[in-house]
Structure 1
Amino acid sequence: MSGLLGGSAAPVIVAALAGIALAAAGAWLTVIDPWYAALRVPAWKPPDWAFGPIWTVIIGLAAAAGVLAWNAAPAGPARTWLLVAFAGNGALHVAWSGLFFRLRRPDWALAEVAALWLSIAVLMLVVGRHSGTGVLLLLPYLLWVGVAACLNWSIVRLNGPF
């Protein structure tokens, strides 16, 4: 834990609160309703119950990556870039759920998920300047969003046009 704390608990607290806010926003926007239940999905789609635990782990790992990079980065522009990268990624992360579930536009969500995936790659580059471990902690996020993009594409293909 000392590597995460780096002398101050503030980054851990901020990262935890940001992770909770991100998870709460995504959960609020995710509506499992008759529209969603009626969608045709590929046979390889994970069960609905698996998404919550998977996202919880991924968001926790991303928060830890952010803390590691923050503690290793010098004060000033390096930390500003970390905040910008995480904030942009968080906005895209939440936007996908809004597009897919609330607006019922898997086609728009498919375009957005490409931006989300790229934002994770940028996040890895920014974090990687300060923490190699942080980059490794973000790898499951990149991979899972890749799986989610394939699932999103399959749903569009099986159900479109929207």
Structure 2
Amino acid sequence: MSRRMVHLLFIIGTMASGAAMGFFVVPGQGYADVIRPFFAPPDWLFGPVWTVLYVLIGWAGARSYLDGGAFRLWLLQMALNLTWTPVYFGLGAPWSGLVVIVLLLVAILAFIRAEWPRDRFTALLFAPYSAWVAFATVLNASIAVLN
């Protein structure tokens, strides 16, 4: 299989897995009543942001897989990424979601650190993702405290 095909499959697979979580795990009515901090972005922003991030995540995953990088860390962060939505929204458990998202952030930063000396471009593909998840961690913690 060509490198381009592997990249394409990783990007499509990553986007599809993220979309599946959004499709199958619908926030309950309780989420509409959640008290949010003043810095919470509007709901419509999450879809476009995650679309871009999933492309970058998939691209980094393909590069890591093909070039012998930190692919196990990539798999770990994907597992944690896909776990957060059903925990936070499906179970309606912001404190448990906070544990998952903190572990996710640690896994993302570990991936960046592992890739940096080997392939800086792959590491940098995760920079926007790490920034967004750091922000989401603060948002998750704030919602947990406020509610």
TM-score (norm 1): 0.81
CA distance in 2, matches of 1:32, 1:70: 33
* 8 Å CA contact 1:92, 1:116 repeated in 2: yes
C-alpha distance in 1 between matches for 2:24 and 2:102: 19
Measure how far apart 1:95 and its partner are: 0.7
The answer to which of 120-129 and 48-57 deviates more is 120-129
Match of 1:57 in 2: 52
Unaligned runs of 5+ in 2: none
For structure 1, the residue ranges without an aligned partner over 5 or more in a row are: 1-6
Note the C-alpha offset of 1:125.
2.5
Structure-2 residue corresponding to 1:108: 96
- For the Cα contact (< 8 Å) 2:56–2:126, is it kept in 1? yes
Query: Which residue of the partner structure matches residue 9 of structure 1?
Result: 4
Q: 1:91 aligns with which of 72, 76, 79?
A: 79
CA 1:94 to 1:50, structure 2 compared with 1: closer, same or farther past 3 Å?
A: same
Deviation at 1:17, TM superposition (A): 2.8
Q: Which shifted more, 125-134 or 49-58?
A: 125-134
What is the deviation of 1:86? 1.8
Quick one: percent identity of the two aligned structures?
Answer: 29
Supply the RMSD in Å over aligned alpha carbons: 2.0
Q: What's the CA shift for 1:158?
A: 0.5
**Closer/same/farther in 2, CA of residues 23 and 43 from structure 1, 3 Å limit:** same
CA distance in structure 2 between the aligned counterparts of 1:15 and 1:126, rounded to whole angstroms: 20
Q: CA deviation at 1:12?
A: 1.1
Match of 2:130 in 1: 142
Contact 1:29 1:97 in 2 (8 A): no
